[in-house]
Amino acid sequence: MCLAIPVQVKELLPDDMAKVTLDGVSKIVSTALVDDVKVGDYVVLHVGYALAKIDPEEAERTLALIREAAMGDAA
């Protein structure tokens, strides 16, 4: 029920709406809850609304941390 998915913004539309795609499927959603959405941004989409932007640098950092953890800095 609270599941949301990352989708990419392809086009900004009037009234805080945007066209987004996921795996080639496009959808019109509301961006009214998130400021400064730009074409090319990834947003977390939940029941027709963008809830947050995905920060590409933090996403990379998380993966780097996971790789580090996998190599055993934990031990």
Partner 1 sequence: MKYIDEYRDGSLAKDVARQITALADPARSYHFMEFCGGHTHAISRYGLEDLLPANVRMIHGPGCPVCVLPIGRIDAAIALAMRPEITLCTYGDLMRVPGSNGSSLLKAKAAGADIRMVYSTLDALQIGEAEPDREVVFFAIGFETTTPTTALALKAAIARGLGNFSIFCNHVLTPAAIQNILESPDVRKLGTIKIDGFIGPAHVSTVIGTEPYEFFAEEFRKPVVVAGFEPLDVIQAILMLVRQVSDGRHEVENQYIRAVTALGNEKAQAEVANFFELRESFEWRGLGEVPYGALRLRPQYAAYDAEKRFSMVTPAAKDNPACECGAILRGVKKPADCKLFGTVCTPDTPMGSCMVSSEGACAAHWAYGRFREKVRQVDARRAVA
Site for partner 1 contains 36 (CB under 8 A): no
Smallest separation, CB 66 to partner 1 (Å)? 5
- Which one, of 38, 33, 39, 36, lies nearest residue 4 by Cα? 33
Size of the site for partner 1 (CB under 8 A): 42
Q: Give one word for 31, left, alpha or beta, with left for phi > 0 and alpha for psi -120 to 50.
A: alpha
Return residues touching partner 1 (CB under 8 A): 1-6, 8, 22-23, 29-30, 32-35, 42, 44, 46-49, 51-56, 58-59, 61-63, 65-67, 69-75
